[in-house]
């Protein structure tokens, strides 16, 4: 398995606090009226994934629990992912723009919201002419039984679990960073086959996936995303490199995890004279993703596509 050496991990950007808060907090919490009645976690068989490509980063070290899936909030979730994969969603060649994007679902690094923050996002992007690739990255191990998993999630949401974790650093994301870097390598290696411009490959992440997107941008030197999307991820302060890519950020003010905080990351991006667009929605909770809701947060996707178009990502090459 490929690991980033310690010197290559996330640059000093107050990462310890960001990672500590994020690892303890960001997970699946739609906080949406209308979804509460469907919040029970029901085990399901792992779906057939014929298009998933193994990334070659190896099996999660020390993993004892095998991958399993469950349904919640009307969507499918994966947990105990031990082998990373990338699933392509390619646009109709007649509409293909040449742009591509890695999609990183969220789930507190303990589970992945594969539909709402993965496949559904990728399909919508492909319909707009953007090649999308859902990254199923390796996760922290959780109890195999659903009752034990549910209890572990409740403990994570306790007041004690939300406190900063002593000594937590970006090194905690080494397996996930290796997976995201491998995703970029694979897409560039097959760029001609998939009709992709290797200079127009970006990344978008949701909650924990947004954390991984930021860490990939700031630490995985070979990835170099052309643009990034941070959707309801932590927006705390960090050191922004001079070559930071354009960033689109969206969050709801009533997000119980990251909404009632300062959004210094936006100011940091602007202070570094890097392009940034920020949408602060009045309501939407956490984890709204592609769920159809009555709140204006549902408009984030259309705004994101218009933003990509503004940056020339939807213009067909040649």
Q: Is residue 1 part of a domain?
A: no
φ and ψ of 300, to 5 deg: -60, -40
Asked whether 67 and 82 are in contact (CB, 8 A), the reply is: yes
Q: Percentage of the chain with pLDDT > 90? A: 75
42-44 β-sheet, strand order = 42-44, 68-72, 75-79, 111-113
- Over residues 259-312, the pLDDT tens digits come to 888 899 999 999 999 999 999 999 999 999 999 999 999 999 999 999 999 999
Please give the structure tokens belonging to residue 86.
Answer: 């990338």
Q: Is residue 177 part of a domain?
A: yes
Asked whether 94 and 153 are in contact (CB, 8 A), the reply is: no
- Over residues 106-127, the pLDDT tens digits come to 999 999 999 999 999 999 999 9
Torsion of CA 148, 43, 204, 256, to 10 degrees: -50
Q: Is residue 21 part of a domain?
A: yes
**Does residue 157 register a pLDDT over 80?**
no
CA atoms within 13 A of residue 232's CA, in its CB half-sphere: 37
Q: How far apart are CA 203 and CA 187, in angstroms?
A: 12
- Over residues 43-91, the pLDDT tens digits come to 999 999 999 999 999 999 999 999 999 999 899 999 999 999 999 999 9
Indicate the number of domains in the chain: 1
Q: How far apart are CA 209 and CA 292, in angstroms?
A: 20
pLDDT at 27: 45
Which CATH number is 91's domain given?
A: 3.40.50.1820
Q: Is residue 316 part of a domain?
A: no
């Amino acid at each position: 398995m490929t690991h980033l050496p310690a010197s290559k991990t996330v640059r000093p950007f107050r990462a310890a606090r960001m990672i500590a808060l994020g690892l303890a907090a960001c997970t699946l919490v739609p906080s949406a009226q209308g979804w509460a009645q469907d919040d029970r976690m029901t085990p399901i068989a792992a779906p057939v994934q014929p298009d998933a490509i193994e990334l070659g980063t190896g099996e999660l070290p020390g993993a004892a629990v095998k991958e399993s899936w469950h349904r919640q909030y009307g969507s499918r979730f994966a947990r105990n992912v031990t082998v990373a994969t990338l699933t392509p969603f390619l646009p109709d060649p007649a509409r293909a723009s040449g742009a591509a994007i890695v999609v990183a679902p969220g789930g507190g690094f303990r589970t992945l919201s594969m539909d709402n923050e993965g496949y559904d996002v990728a399909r919508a992007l492909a319909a707009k002419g953007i090649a999308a690739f859902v990254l199923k990255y390796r996760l922290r191990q959780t109890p195999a039984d659903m009752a034990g998993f549910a209890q572990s999630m409740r403990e994570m949401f306790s007041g004690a679990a939300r406190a900063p974790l002593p000594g937590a650093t970006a090194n905690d994301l080494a397996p996930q960073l290796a997976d995201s870097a491998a995703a970029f390598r694979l897409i560039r290696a097959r760029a001609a086959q998939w009709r992709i411009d290797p200079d127009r490959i970006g990344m978008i992440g949701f909650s924990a996936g947004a954390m991984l997107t930021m860490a990939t941008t700031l630490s995985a030197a070979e990835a170099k995303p052309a643009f990034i999307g941070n959707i309801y991820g932590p927006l705390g302060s960090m050191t922004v490199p001079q070559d930071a890519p354009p960033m689109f950020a969206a969050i709801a003010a009533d997000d119980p995890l990251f909404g009632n905080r300062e959004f210094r990351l936006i100011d940091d991006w602007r202070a570094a004279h890097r392009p940034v667009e920020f949408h602060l929605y009045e309501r939407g909770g956490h984890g709204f993703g592609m769920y159809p809701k009555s709140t204006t947060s549902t408009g984030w996707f259309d705004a994101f596509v218009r933003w990509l178009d503004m940056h020339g990502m939807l213009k067909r090459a040649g």
